[in-house]
Amino acid sequence: MAETFGVFYTTATNAAFLISLCIIITPILDSLMHGRRPPTAIMLCALLSCIGTALMVMQDRFTLNLGDLLILGAAFLRAVMVISTNRLLKDRTISSASLTTVQFLAVTGISGMVALAVDGQAGFTFPASPQFWGALFFLAGLCTLAAFYIQNVAARMTNPTRVSFLMGTEPVFGALFAAVLLSEEIGAVTALGATMILISTYLGTRYSATVRGRCTPEPSAQNLS
């Protein structure tokens, strides 16, 4: 929710950079919760990824406003979610599908209450066009529900630091889809930033795998229903 409101009040450029800061926040929180100092190699990889993101998205002068602060809060909450999901699923019999259902219903209920409190009944007036409902179901079904499930499966199978690094490749995929679907050009600076993100992700995930072992594997298919 913080990310949604943040995007409304700030630019997509600022939002893309600030949300990527969860790559740095996650290993710091994870290490502090385990009573140890964040590994220097992990922090350097996270910093490299953030610099790469900045190169990809920052074309103009960077300034902070209310939306930027909300995105910063969303980056912190995303880090908390990845760590808490890993801890919740570790050594538990709860399936990723069950947790995803709870998360989706919670997001739907809380967002609905906020919309009702802020906009009243007018907030639930939707266009009747098929294009709107098609886009809505695409965003809710694939970009939210499916993303929750995939993230929960990943959080169970690996550690939070690796998850945050992999999620940090979001700007790279955004640039690729923009080039393929919207015919946008990828300049040299954007390509350099994407390369830095991919290198940092590769190094960060490899190093984090040596620091912490894998978590409990995903339950068998019959337990996911």
Q: What's the chain's average pLDDT?
A: 77
Amino acid 118: pLDDT: 78
Residues 6 or more apart in contact with residue 189 via CB below 8 angstroms: 55, 56
Identify the residue with better confidence: 83 or 216: 83
- Residues 112-125 pLDDT 10s: 888 788 777 776 77
Domain ranges for the chain: 2-223
Region 187-207: mean pLDDT is: 83
Whether the per-residue pLDDT at 215 is higher than 50: the answer is no
Amino acid 95: pLDDT: 81
- Residues 110-169 pLDDT 10s: 888 887 887 777 767 778 888 888 888 888 888 888 888 888 887 777 778 788 888 777
Cβ pair 153, 96 in contact under 8 A: yes
Q: Take residue 219 and report the two structure tokens written for it.
A: 């339950």
Tell me the pLDDT band of 217, cut-offs 50, 70 and 90.
very low
Residue 140: CB atoms within 10 A of its CB come to 14
Q: ∠32-38-41 over CA atoms, to 5°? A: 165
Return the half-sphere exposure (C-beta side, CA atoms, 13 A cut-off) of residue 161. Answer: 31
Round to whole Å and give the CA distance between 19 and 22: 6
Q: ∠18-135-14 over CA atoms, to 5°? A: 15
According to the per-residue pLDDT averaged within each range, which of 73-77, 188-192, 212-216 is highest?
A: 73-77
Amino acid 64: pLDDT: 67
Q: Which one-letter DSSP state was computed for residue 143?
A: I
Whether the per-residue pLDDT at 214 is higher than 50: the answer is no
- Residues 3-48 pLDDT 10s: 777 777 777 666 777 777 788 888 888 888 777 887 888 888 888 8
